[in-house]
Structure formats: C-alpha cells, structure tokens
Structure 1
C-alpha cells in the first residue's frame, strides 16, 4: 500500500492522530500509533513516500514535553530509514524552504536527516542542503555543530564485527587489547589523587548511557595527581586506589581486574554504540544524535571546551593515554554490556574514569 497508495496511508495517519489526541489517551500513544505508518513510508523508495513520512512526524504529531520526547524518537528513526532507503534527489526536495526556528518538529526531522546523511558522507556540496545546514548552525541547532562528513576517527560507527560482542571477561579484554601490568608505584600515585567535582562535565561524559536507558547510573569521576605520572604507572594498580563506586568490594565476583591500552577511536565507537543501540530498557537514539552524544562525552572525558574544532579534538586525543578496564565487583553486572575507561591527560596529572553497566534483569 505504501508503494501504490501512500496518500491513503497519510490520510489514515492523520485521522489516527486526531482521534488519539482527542480521546484523552496517554500522550506518547500518538507516536506509537502512527509510528509504523511513518516508518513503512520511509522504508518505501519514492519521493511521495518520503514527503508523507516527513509530514507525519513533522506536522501531525502533537506537541508538549512528553509528546515531544516520544515524537523525537520517532523522528530520529524515520530520518535514519529515509537516508538508508530514499534517493538523495528525493530527499533534497524536502529542504527547499529554510527553517525559521528550532521549535518546529518539521525542522527537527530535517536536521536529523542531514545528520544521517553526514554519517554516510552524502549531501555535502549540494546548495539546497548546504543552505539549510548553515541556517541550522546559525540558529544553534545541536546537530549543526557536527562535521557534515564522517571523520576518519568515526570509521567504526555502526559497524558490527561477527564474534566481537561486549567484553565480559578479562580474557576477552586481553585478546583484543594489549594489557598494562600493575605497578607498585602506580598504586602509590593513586593514593595521592584528589577528586575534582564537576557535575556538568560528568553528565556530558555519561550522556550516551543515560539518554539510551542503561539500567545503572554511569559513574564519571575526575581526579588530579600532585605530580606527573610515569606512563607505565597508568594501570589497574592506580585505578584501584581511586575511591570509585564501580570498584567497591573488589573480589565479590570471580575474576581479576585488568587494564588494557586502547585508542580514542575505540572509545568513541563504544560511546556511539551505547547511544545508537540503546540500553536493554531504553531507547535507541538514531545515528545523528548518537554521534552527537558520543562526541559530547569524548570532549568531557578530555575536559575540552565545546568550541574546540573536531579535528583539533582528534589531534589532542592522540596525546592522551586511553585505557579499558574490567573489574569483578557487584557494581558491574557482567551480563549484557559493561564499559569502563580511564583517561590520562597530556600533563599526566589528570585522570578521568567512566564506567557503565547494563542488564536485562528486572531488578538492579
């Protein structure tokens, strides 16, 4: 029906929106009701289907804080499907009118489409799309600050490799990354660390996990050392001396804590995957916003201001030391997903730790 009579599907969605919005039902049910129609249209290649799908999520869904949140999830999903299915020339026709403000859901869905196009390196250099993107940037849309093409450091975004799932054991971690052995001097240095509290930075670092509904609140902590740390001392021996909730009661599960050296692109990919795939009890965020949340987190891990250009952030990331670690405590579930990173800045005096865990168990 989407192929042969898309206008009838749109009319059905319009009637459903009016009916559900007027019967006193729970607000998010409107998006759930018409979502399958919009997604079916987005998945059917034709200019009419693309336009009707965008009109459903950009014009028909009701507004309001609760409705907007549910609607935004649908808009992100529809935008991703449109970019995967539709021809670029048919999507380009959606951008002929420049946005007048950011409150309009029709503008939001188009911003998501541009974000998804950037993920596949498409759309840049087309005057109509460039003009719309520039207007979004001038209006301050959060997605508009991202590069219009995928950077090399983002090469793993959305790529699944068979046999490389989440890391749940020390042996799995060692098999993928070079292990950094514990040192007594590292432990001694860890005992001299002082914590720096920064709630805003912690929220940004944890954002990929909180927005996607991982079951436990992530732990993001920042520490300062009184003197530069020797590179070999940045290992589990130092991390275990920090007052981290995720390491409390070490040894309550079978296994020995391990740290391994990793790279910025590995960290960025894990942050992207957390938001893109969503937690067990949460919601996938779509490629455009998963990319934004991943970069926000990476900037926070390095303590960079948001006005630092992305390529400069990539350059600075190389000067940091990046670790993955795994621990066997009651904080981690060792079930669905466990992620833990430690970052040492170029001065070798500032340490950031980010840990997150997810499970499909009913109770945390």
Structure 2
C-alpha cells in the first residue's frame, strides 16, 4: 500500500479522543491489554447504577479504541466486550456512542487479522438494537470496503441474519463496487477543491448559454422534504457547520444538452448563490461524473466537518448511497448496479460561487 492511500478507519474519525487527553490515560498507557481491560471493567462496575458518564466514559471508550488498535485475538474480544456490554446504555450521548462503535469497528478491520475477527461472529443476533449487533454490522461494513470477509461461513451467516432483521448496513454490497473506487483513497494533489483554478484544472468547464438562463427562469420549485433530508444526510452526519441546501426543481420542457451550466443555476432561487457577483471572482460550473458525486458524498461523512467527526467507512458508504438515491429520486428497492447504470445517464455539475 502506498503512503498516498488512506484506508477506511483513518482520518478525522479518530481525532476526538486524541484531541482530549485525560489524566487517567497517562497511567493506563503503561498497562498491558488485560490490565487495561480490567481497569475499564472496574470503571464500569463503579459506575453501575449511576451510569458511566463524563471522563470515565471517555476513558473506557479510549481503552476500547486502544485495544482495537492492538493486534491480537484477545484484544479484539476485549474491545468488542467494552463497547458491546460494559459501556452501559446512556453512558454517552447517542452521537458519541455511535461514533465510538464505528471507530472501534474501523480500527478492528484496519489492524486485526481476519482470523482474529472471526470469533466475533460465532453467535447470530436476535435483533439489531443491541450494541453487540451494531458493532458487528459495522465490522462487516468496513470489511466490505476492503473486499474481505466474504466466503467465511460465520461472517456470511451473520450478514444474512442482519439482512433478514432489516439492518440498514446489511443491504449494501459485500464488496466495493467499481463506482466506489475512490472511497477513502487519498492521492497527493487530488484533495478537496478550494479554488476556481483547482476546479477548472480537474473538470471541464461548462460555458454559459442564453438557453440555460431561459430554462432556469422557467424552473418550478418541487419541494420534497423526505428526499432533501436523505440527500443531506452525509453532511448532517458529518457535522458540517452550515445546513446544506438541497433543492428540487421541475422544468416545463427538457433541458438542452448544452444548457446545464452556470447560466441555468444563476436563475434558480438558491440561498447559496445569493449575492453572487458582488464579490471578486466569477461563478463557474464544471461537468463531472457519478463516481465523483458519490465520492464527494462519502467523504462528507467519512471525514466530517470542522465541527463534527467522521462516521467510519460503513456508515459513510450507507449515507452516500442513500443521498445519491435521493438525488436521483430512486426507490430504495432499486438494485445498486441498476442505480450505477442510471447515474451514468444523469448530468452532474460541480459549481463554485463567491458570495458572503
């Protein structure tokens, strides 16, 4: 693996506990895996009844992440047990508990040999509401992103049971699709686009047309809150600072092949374009492809915004697909490969404007 690649589990999803060191961790770092696990058990027992909260909950969570990051079968079971059984419900807020489960799952898949993970799947789940089932669903989701885990009887049986029980992650393909080839892959020089020069250098610019402006003025607002919420999910889950704007419009006649560009977008009543033209720099729109769109949606929740945290590869993938389906207006039951085919038939734009 080159140093320019980033595997699921790296990045912003690991930041939180590193950024907030606790005094207890300085001592715990000197302990071996069994001693760390015993220390976490003691913290949990001490908090039984009152609920594990605050610094104690964060310490137990950090121990679980450290154990997940230590290659050995025992460490796998210790980490899984801490987040599945010993961390009492309500010990952390819902978002923090979800983040911890997803972080531990990502670390387990990144660090541990598959043979060390297999014992996690010895017993099939009775339901999908428990932290134990959720952790294993996330592990299977992370394995899918690296093309591993299929063909193992216990893992396949667990995945089938999760699908039968209706777990949302279980409906995703058990292997990465070709359209997902950029997920969590970092290539030097191809980071996020922040300037018009970067956008023009990487995507073909679409020229403005009079027909585009005419079509934009004729567009009718087609509000659909359900679709809008699904489309915004990667950004909401990733904790982006501003509320994303998702809008749907209908046209009285088909849009000409050359008219889907900035002249069309400028005529739509979009908040993100309010005041466009009053600042230095002209707005521009560039044509892009479905894989670029899907990767942007994945990255939104995988990396997380400045005020949020990454959600791990398994859920970032789910949110990206749910968002793409919503943008295209596809029912959930449409097979993924059919969605890939339809996405290629759509026209997609990246656009940038300079506003307040």
2:212 to 182, 186, 189: 186
From 295, 299, 303, the equivalent of 1:277 is 303
Give yes or no for the alignment of 1:127 onto 2:114. Answer: no
Asked whether 1:33 is paired with 2:63, we answer no
Paired residues of 2:51 and 2:88 also in contact (CA < 8 A): no
Q: Which residue of 2 aligns with 1:168?
A: 194
Give the secondary structure class of the aligned counterpart of 1:74: helix
1:33 Cα deviation (Å)?
A: 1.9
With the length of structure 2 as denominator, give the TM-score of the two structures.
0.89
Identify unmatched segments of 5+ residues in structure 1.
331-364
Summarize the alignment of residues 294-309 of structure 1 with structure 2, pairs less than 5 Å apart. Answer: 294-309=320-335
Matched with 1:12 is 39
Please report how far the alpha carbon of residue 5 of structure 1 lies from its aligned counterpart in structure 2 after TM superposition: 3.9
Instruction: Tell me if the contact between 1:2 and 1:49 (Cα under 8 Å) persists in the aligned partners.
Output: no
- RMSD of aligned alpha carbons: 1.8
- 2:95 equivalent to 1:69: yes
State the alpha-carbon separation in 2 of the partners of residues 79 and 168 from structure 1.
Answer: 32
Quick check: 2:106–2:142 contact (8 Å CA) kept in 1?
yes
Structure-2 separation of matches of 1:31 and 1:151: 37
Provide, for residues 283-308 of structure 1, a one-character-per-residue CA deviation record: whole Å limited to 9, x for no partner: 11000000000111111111111110
**1:258/1:266 CA distance change after superposition, 3 Å:** same
Cα contact 2:43–2:60 (8 A) shared by 1: yes
Aligned pairs (5 A) from 1:132-143? 132-143=158-169
Q: Conserved in 1, the CA contact under 8 Å of 2:51 and 2:90?
A: no
Q: Going by fraction, where is strand more abundant, 1 or 2?
A: 1
Show the 5 A alignment for 1:1-364: 5-20=32-47, 27=53, 29-64=55-90, 67-330=93-356
Gaps of 5+ in 2: 1-27
Q: Secondary structure at the match of 1:204?
A: helix
Residues in 2 aligned to 1:145 and 1:65: alpha-carbon distance in whole angstroms = 30
| Contact 2:230/2:326, CA 8 A, preserved across alignment | yes
TM-score normalised to the size of structure 1? 0.87
Instruction: Give secondary structure in 2 for the equivalent of 1:180.
Output: coil
Q: CA deviation at 1:165?
A: 2.4
Query: Which structure shows the bigger proportion of residues in helix conformation?
Result: 2
SS in 1 for 2:308: coil
Considering Cα pairs closer than 8 Å and 6+ residues apart, tell me whether 1 or 2 has the greater RCO.
2
CA shift at 1:28, angstroms? 5.7
Partners of 2:54 and 2:96 in 1: how far apart?
6
Residue 166 of structure 1, CA deviation: 2.0
